[in-house]
Copies of this chain bind each other. A is one copy, B any other.
Amino acid sequence: VARALELVGERWTLLIVRDALLGTTRFDAFLASLGLARNVLTDRLGGLVEHGIFERVPYRQRPLRHEYRLTAMGRDLVGVVIPLMEWGDRYLAGDAGPPRVAEHVDCGGHVVSQFVCERCGRPVPNTEVTTSPAGQSPAGQN
């Protein structure tokens, strides 16, 4: 968790990733959406490229222009962004309801995140999830 937070544990990072998941690729589009200073966005995007979350890809040759595309590693942060969105909707959304909903690309159905137990196969409520040091499970399952 600590190492993951070194990469994504800064408010702008997950907001940039959120915008990218919504289809944003160009510097000026991130800038307009996020309303943060140009130099801060440059720094952030540079760091995210360096850490393998985005790749910088030319989209025009003359003059040379680049866009920012999520790598597979970056796109996989949807597994963190959606649970964060759900948590916010549950506790912070207020009367207006959630601004966006998660959807299954194939069938258009509403998608929710949940925990599943690989041993008993059942969905596991958040209140029944704990962690233990790897290889030292109290039940000896690892």
| A binding-site residues for B, Cβ under 8 Å | 1-11, 14-15, 18, 21-22, 52, 73, 75-88, 90-93, 97-120, 122-124, 126-134, 137-142
With a cutoff of 8 Å between Cβ atoms, the chain B residues found around residue A7 in the complex are 92
With a cutoff of 8 Å between Cβ atoms, the chain B residues found around residue A80 in the complex are 80, 83-84, 87
Pick 21 A–B contacts, CB within 8 A, sort by A.
A1-B15, A1-B88, A2-B15, A4-B85, A9-B10, A22-B131, A75-B127, A78-B126, A79-B115, A82-B131, A98-B134, A103-B129, A103-B132, A104-B119, A106-B124, A108-B119, A108-B140, A109-B117, A110-B118, A113-B115, A116-B123
Residue in B closest to A133 when the chains form the complex, CB atoms: B100
Question: Chain A contact residues: over half helix, strand or loop, or mixed?
Answer: mixed
Q: In the complex, A97 Cα to B84 Cα: how many Å?
A: 25
Q: B130 to A105, Cβ gap below 8 A? A: yes
With a cutoff of 8 Å between Cβ atoms, the chain B residues found around residue A15 in the complex are 1-2, 5, 9
Q: In the complex, A15 Cα to B21 Cα: how many Å?
A: 25
Q: In the complex, A6 Cα to B91 Cα: how many Å?
A: 13
A11-B6, A92-B7 are contacts. A118–B109 as well, Cβ < 8 Å? yes
Q: In the complex, A11 Cα to B117 Cα: how many Å?
A: 28
Q: How far is the CB of A18 from chain B (nearest CB, A)?
A: 5
11 A-B pairs besides A103-B129, A103-B131, A103-B132 with CB distance below 8 A are A1-B18, A5-B11, A21-B131, A78-B126, A79-B86, A82-B129, A100-B133, A105-B130, A107-B120, A110-B141, A116-B123
